[in-house]
Amino acid sequence: MEDNDEQVCRFLTGENFYSQHYFGFHKILRNGLSEYVFRVWAPNAEQVWLVGDFNDWTDSLPMSKLEEWGVWEIYTELPAEGDFYKFKVRQSGGREVFKIDPYAIAFEERPGDAAVIHTIPDKSWKDGLWQGRKKRSDYFKRPMNIYEVHASSWKHKADGTPYTFKSLKKELISYVKEMGYTHIEFMPLMEHPLGMSWGYQLIGYFALSSYYGTPEEFQQFVEECHLNNIGVLVDWVPGHFCINDDTLPYYDGTPQFEYEDPDRAKNVRWGSLNFDLGKPQVQSFLISSALFWLDFYHLDGIRVDAVSNMLYRDYDEGAWLPNHEGGNRNFEGYYFLQKLNAVIKLAHPKAIMIAEESSSETKITGLIETGALGFDYKWNMGWMNDTLRFYEMDPVFRKDHFNLLTFSFMYMMDESFILPLSHDEVVHGKKSLMHKMWGDRYKQFAQLRNLYVYMMAHPGKKLLFMGSEWGQFLEWKYDEGLEWRDLQDDMNSKMQHFTRVLNALYKEQGALWEQDNSYDTIEIIDADNSQETVLSLIRKGKKKKDFLIIVLNMTPVERQDFQIGVPYEGVYEEILNTEMKEFGGTWKNGNPPAVAEPETFKQFGYRIKTIVPALGAVILKPKEIVVPKKRR
């Protein structure tokens, strides 16, 4: 264990990635007595006091400044477990303000924001089997189907109060397991003062929001997920922070966590402040936060929010100045993100690092040595925008915009992608996924099923926001539970059943994920049939005989005797048809097995015929095929 001078020195140089072991509060033994030490970085403050329940929030506990380091500290026996506390800071210039502890591990329930003295006991984890499998596996070659969750609005109790992780452990895990998802991704769980921000305006970078329960309860939740073979990912926001005066902004009265340039510091779009990502102390603080969540909660990965805001000086709506090269690159953000990923991968090689990023100017995934940022995955926002625009369109016009559905095949391997149908697409008047679909209710459900097959057929990992699995019609509301009563309706119930079946098929069929990041995973059968607006393609596993044929009909016209090119002679069996009655369609029986005929179709030497339902999709799998042996 490093001594205090080494720890603070490394913090100041941007190399202390476990700085929470030095800052914040710590219970210690000193001179045989049990007491607490509190430390806070505030280099330009004139004076700092520790205030709380234990001294009636008075100035009786002045802290001492370690001048060389800009750190204030105090040793005291007064606090007790459960007490609230803050720091009173006389800022540069003489203004006095109560400030939170940036390293607090727990806060009081909002709207209060005092930190809580809460000693969390060391946990004896029982997820060793999960961790061992994770070390031995390659997640790029494994299925990843993510269920995105806002923790406090997944389900509410009868009295309208949200579930905490104690209740979510009982219900959410079993639900996710039953539905066949591989991972849960939570929107930010860190402390935030306003629920309306959905957790993206943080104040506590080391604290689980008290709104969701206790740290111990979340540890138990993650452990139970792992015991049920479910991974856990959490959103994290290192680019900007809450502007509330009693939190991080201008902590010591000068630009401390934020940029000195007020235009760079102010985030106009989100009404927040941007971290100065080039400042070494800020790098220590943020990377320590990320590692803390991975270490302390055994998370399987982190989704970094708003990466574009960290990469480009002109991303925001306010004034901006070019960099020293005359461009819009935010070099501080660029190098911080590379450093973040390098440090995390050194400590946790199997941690999944995901970027929410919408531009194409910077390589996001891949090796840092090649100039990439080092993320494992990038949300494919282009695919999402084009796809939803297409499905919202009247089918009459789809033939003229078929490229919206096929353009992503041109760049699908440029990055390692996740295909997101996320919370951002079902709020602010955008309508739910179900409500976006064209036509009457029956047609909307048919197209939703079609959309989900298209997502599964397209290379890339998958993400679906909660409630979308059964076609909730109303937009998501952050302060209400999902519309679970929808499932009393036969169509919603059958939609949920369809999603469950599709998720199971995805996990069972290696062709849908074994070669996800290689062009070998896909062969387009026909992406030119814009007149009939039918897309057909093959997804391939590692073995020649392991492949699936997916056909998607984007019009309300049933395609009789539809011809599909196939690579080998033999029999092809339908394994999914979105129009079956059990899913909410009208078909009692699916298509019979199709026998390949020796007729050319584009690059293929054989073709089969089948019926493709109106606004429907079918998936076929070879049953008895003949693969020619290679000539020597």
Distance in angstroms (rounded) separating the CA atoms of residues 392 and 107:
43
pLDDT value at residue 632: 55
Q: What is the pTM of this model?
A: 0.97
Cis peptide before 111 (omega within 30 of 0): yes
Output 69 or 632, whichever has higher pLDDT. 69
The residues facing 47 across adjacent strands are: 90
pLDDT > 90 fraction of the chain, expressed in percent and rounded:
95
Evaluate if residue 303 carries a pLDDT over 80: yes
- Averaged pLDDT, 594-600: 96
Closest to 313 in 3D by CA, of 278, 286, 341, 289 = 278
Q: Cα angle vertex 540, ends 534, 542, to 5°?
A: 180
pLDDT in tens, 46-95: 999 999 999 999 999 999 999 999 999 999 999 999 999 999 999 999 99
pLDDT value at residue 509: 98
Q: Write the single-letter amino acid at 433.
A: L
Closest to 222 in 3D by CA, of 143, 165, 302 = 165
CA 241 to chain centre: 18
Positions marked active-site: 305, 356
CB atoms within 10 A of CB 505: 18
Helix (DSSP H) and strand (DSSP E) numbers for the chain: 14, 29
pLDDT in tens, 533-544: 999 999 999 999
Give the pLDDT band (50/70/90) at residue 623.
very high
Evaluate if residue 489 carries a pLDDT over 90: yes
- Averaged pLDDT, 532-560: 97
Evaluate if residue 449 carries a pLDDT over 80: yes
Distance in angstroms (rounded) separating the CA atoms of residues 318 and 271:
11
Q: What are phi and psi of 21, to 5 degrees?
A: -75, -15
pLDDT value at residue 628: 83
Give the pLDDT band (50/70/90) at residue 212.
very high
Q: Judge whether 44 and 253 are in contact, CB under 8 Å.
A: yes
- Averaged pLDDT, 231-258: 98
pLDDT in tens, 453-463: 999 999 999 99
- Averaged pLDDT, 119-144: 95
Distance in angstroms (rounded) separating the CA atoms of residues 280 and 271:
25
The tally of CA atoms less than 13 A away on the side-chain side of residue 127 is 24
- What six digits make up the tokens of 173? 């895990």
Distance in angstroms (rounded) separating the CA atoms of residues 515 and 521:
5
pLDDT value at residue 559: 97
Sequential DSSP letters for 73-121: EEEES---TT-EEEEEEE-TTS-EEEE--TT-S-BPSTT---EE--PPP
Q: What is the mean pLDDT of the chain?
A: 96
Sequential DSSP letters for 364-427: -BS-GGGT---BSEEE-HHHHHHHHHHHTS-HHHHGGGTHHHHGGGGTTTSS-EEEEE-GGGSS
The tally of CA atoms less than 13 A away on the side-chain side of residue 104 is 29
Domains and CATH numbers, the chain: 4-116 (2.60.40.10), 522-626 (2.60.40.1180)
Give the pLDDT band (50/70/90) at residue 430.
very high
Evaluate if residue 631 carries a pLDDT over 70: no
Q: Judge whether 171 and 133 are in contact, CB under 8 Å.
A: no
Q: Where are the beta strands (DSSP E) in 427-568?
A: 461-465, 522-526, 534-540, 547-553, 559-566
Distance in angstroms (rounded) separating the CA atoms of residues 80 and 69:
28
Name the residue with tokens 């016009």: 397
Q: What are phi and psi of 92, to 5 degrees?
A: -55, 120
Residue 522 in 3-state DSSP? strand
Q: What are phi and psi of 20, to 5 degrees?
A: -65, -15
Q: Quote the DSSP letter at residue 139.
A: G
- Averaged pLDDT, 252-276: 97
Q: Judge whether 570 and 598 are in contact, CB under 8 Å.
A: no
User: HEC string of 279-300?
Assistant: CHHHHHHHHHHHHHHHHHHCCC
